[in-house]
Amino acid sequence: MELTGAEIVVQSLAAEGVEFVFGYPGGSVLHIYDELFKQDKVKHVLVRHEQGAAHAADGYSRASRKVGVCLVTSGPGVTNAVTGIATAYMDSIPMIIITGQVPTHAIGLDAFQEVDTVGITRPCVKHNFLVKDVRDLAVTMKKAFHIATTGRPGPVLVDIPKDVTADRCEFVYPERVEIRTYQPVVRGHSGQIRKALELLLEAKRPMIYTGGGIVLADASNELTRLVHKLGFPCTNTLMGLGGFPGTDPQFVGMLGMHGTYEANMAMQHCDVLLAIGARFDDRVIGDPRDFARFSRRIIHIDVDPSSISKRVRVDVPIVGDVREVLLELTAQLEAHAGAVDKPALDAWWTQINEWRGRDCLRYDRAATIIKPQFVVEKLWEVTGGDAIVTSDVGQHQMWAAQFYKFDKPRRWINSGGLGTMGFGLPSAMGAFMANPEATVACVTGEASIQMCIQELSTCKQYHLPIKIINLNNRYMGMVRQWQEFFHGNRYAESYMDALPDFVRLAEAYGHVGLRIENPSDVEPALREAFARRDQLVFLDFLTDATENVYPMVAGGKGLTDMILAEDL
């Protein structure tokens, strides 16, 4: 049957099983909106800003392991979405972005709302397409989904000129596509896996360091099983939290710039490091030269060869899907005659427990002013540790990561790579739409929340009962902390003056707002908010304005060069 390009777009989405499209209309996508209007398989969610559309699609994907889809118009629709696309790209999130474009005959003529979408987004997508002929549309949609979801996932953009959405052609949605130049490796090399196992069994001071790859590969069960079998300590990056249970005794906490003392010490002093789906980011290992001063042998499992030996030389590279490789590694371990060096491991744990004894996340529990860490601890208690928690960017993000002990993957949703303020609320919308039974909380700061505050209106329209935990310290706290430590207490432009009354703001959008000023009111307020199952509640906690995130490894410093709370 002959269909229009717009019909083909919608039919392709339906064929891919897409439930929700997060979008915002405009001239170049009107044919597509018209087709969305005529059917009810693919539901459209109207955001209030295209950045919100991209973050919502992203949050939907992170919380559900499905592909997030967003739809925006040409020109400003695209440029507004770019922050969200780049955010997804940096964290390897599978997403499809459909963008309208001016008609083919107008391209290049500075037409109304024309931008070079493919050019602007090229550096922040896994791939992008400009579809100039309606006959290429269906296969391009199929390719886009294929590329976004396989190998190292990422956002893929499909730019469609308006005339292509009106043109007609025969529609057949391909069952599969072959792209001869794109064949991601899935199975790891058995010989390399054997070498890795030998190294692990020889280790005296082993360490397992895992990241977002575990979550993306849905391999947390496989990881947990292997870590338990080996009895080794395990740390997660910010992106990997929940990949290994946060309450497990073998978990030594997050590592890196704001990682725990024990995780960073163990990372630095181990003799064999098993890195899985983690990319040795600069916020994770500190100064790479300092890191390299300590000799350790490194095994690195990653689906993307370019993540391996990028910042740190690796001894045993294993390219493959984390889940596949972990299954084979565990099978080889079970079949192996040897065992881990138990006495050495016991001594290593004694050392680690001594480091743990520093209690590096300690804070003043007797304070009469609300400590942000306390709010997150209570949030964890009140939600039974089982909420989906999204966050914005800043100190509150770090406290959420440190104090909410995520036991399951896809419960912690944050922008790690790009560090995008404004991510928290729209990503919470997507996370809720993916899991309407779940409890969804957004931990934010008074600065970040204002970057996508307009989405409170979307939450009203679609009845999204998110709980917003605003750790309101009246500062861009993370900026203020750096200024305190590294810029002689000169707080240039980091004080948030003229803040809105968040309670009344929430009410203006039709939600419930609560202000909490005393530590003793924290838990009751949280309980009250979470009891309101059907309402969005904006909890504005007035927290200690001068609290800092500890431990901290200053930029460019060695990983164990930590500033601890007790030093000050």
Ligand X SMILES: Cc1ncc(C[n+]2csc(CCOP(=O)(O)OP(=O)(O)O)c2C)c(N)n1
Bridge partners (DSSP) of residue 515 are 540
Q: How far apart are CA 216 and CA 223, in angstroms?
A: 13
CB 151, CB 142: distance < 8 Å: no
Q: Which residues contact 553 (CB under 8 A, 6 or more apart)?
A: 256, 257, 258, 259, 264, 286, 559, 561, 562, 563
Q: Which residue pairs, CB below 8 angstroms and at least 24 apart, start in 76-80?
A: 76/50, 76/113, 77/24, 77/26, 77/29, 77/50, 77/113, 78/50, 78/115, 78/117, 78/120, 78/121, 79/115, 79/120, 80/49, 80/50, 80/51
- Give every strand in the sheet of 206-210, ordered side by side: 251-254, 234-236, 206-210, 272-276, 297-302, 316-319
Q: Which one of 5-13, 238-246, 454-462, 492-500 is the stretch in contact with ligand FAD (CB under 6 A)?
A: 238-246
| Residue carrying the six token digits 């399951």 | 408
Segment 150-189, which members bind another protein (CB under 8 A)?
Answer: 179-182
Task: Answer yes or no: 310 catalytic.
Answer: no
Q: How many residues bind ligand FAD (CB under 6 A)?
A: 36
DSSP string, 35-82: HHHT-SSSEEEE-SSHHHHHHHHHHHHHHHSS-EEEEE-STHHHHHHH
Marked catalytic residue, from 142, 162, 371, 467: 162
Which of 212, 256, 277, 445 touches ligand X by CB under 6 A? 445
Q: How far apart are CA 175 and CA 172, in angstroms?
A: 9
Task: Answer yes or no: 192 catalytic.
Answer: no
Q: Which of 63, 64, 66, 73 is nearest to 18 (CA)?
A: 66
Residue 217's binding partner out of ligand FAD, ligand X, Mg ion, none, with CB under 5 to 8 Å set by partner kind: ligand FAD
CB 5, CB 165: distance < 8 Å: yes
| Residue carrying the six token digits 């002929």 | 133
Which of 192, 309, 332, 535 touches another protein by CB under 8 A? 309
Residue 47 Cβ vs ligand X, minimum distance, rounded to whole Å: 17
Residue 239's binding partner out of ligand FAD, ligand X, Mg ion, none, with CB under 5 to 8 Å set by partner kind: ligand FAD
Q: Which one of 298-306, 359-367, 407-415, 545-553 is the stretch in contact with another protein (CB under 8 A)?
A: 298-306
Q: Angle 137-149/5-15 helices, nearest 10 degrees?
A: 30
Task: Answer yes or no: 478 catalytic.
Answer: yes
Q: How many residues bind another protein (CB under 8 A)?
A: 16
Marked catalytic residue, from 43, 113, 294, 485: 113
* 216 near ligand FAD, rule: CB under 6 A: yes
Q: How far apart are CA 178 and CA 281, in angstroms?
A: 33
Q: Angle 395-403/372-382 helices, nearest 10 degrees?
A: 40
Lookup: tokens for 457:
């209106």
| Residue carrying the six token digits 């994770």 | 284
* 421 near ligand X, rule: CB under 6 A: yes
Bridge partners (DSSP) of residue 316 are 299
Q: How far apart are CA 101 and CA 137, in angstroms?
A: 14
Which of 391, 473, 494, 548 touches Mg ion by CB under 5 A? 473
Task: Answer yes or no: 50 catalytic.
Answer: yes
* 55 near ligand FAD, rule: CB under 6 A: no
285 to 304: interface string for ligand FAD, x by CB under 6 A: -----------------xxx
Task: Answer yes or no: 171 catalytic.
Answer: no
* 123 near another protein, rule: CB under 8 A: yes
Q: Which one of 12-20, 109-117, 280-288, 455-463 is the stretch in contact with ligand FAD (CB under 6 A)?
A: 280-288
Segment 297-336, which members bind ligand FAD (CB under 6 A)?
Answer: 302-304, 307, 321-322
Segment 128-147, which members bind another protein (CB under 8 A)?
Answer: 130, 147
AA letter at 172: V
Residue 421's binding partner out of ligand FAD, ligand X, Mg ion, none, with CB under 5 to 8 Å set by partner kind: ligand X
* 395 near ligand X, rule: CB under 6 A: yes
Residue 415 Cβ vs ligand FAD, minimum distance, rounded to whole Å: 6
Residue 540's binding partner out of Mg ion, ligand X, ligand FAD, none, with CB under 5 to 8 Å set by partner kind: none
Q: Which one of 40-48, 235-243, 515-523, 554-562 is the stretch in contact with ligand FAD (CB under 6 A)?
A: 235-243
3-state secondary structure 314-328: CCEEEECCHHHHHHH
Positions marked catalytic: 50, 112-113, 162, 478
Per CB under 6 A, residues contacting ligand FAD are 91-92, 152, 211-213, 216-217, 237-240, 254-259, 277-279, 281, 283-284, 302-304, 307, 321-322, 393, 397, 416-417, 419, 478
Per CB under 6 A, residues contacting ligand X are 392-396, 419-421, 445-448, 471, 473, 475-479
Per CB under 8 A, residues contacting another protein are 118-119, 122-123, 127, 130, 147, 179-182, 304-306, 309-310
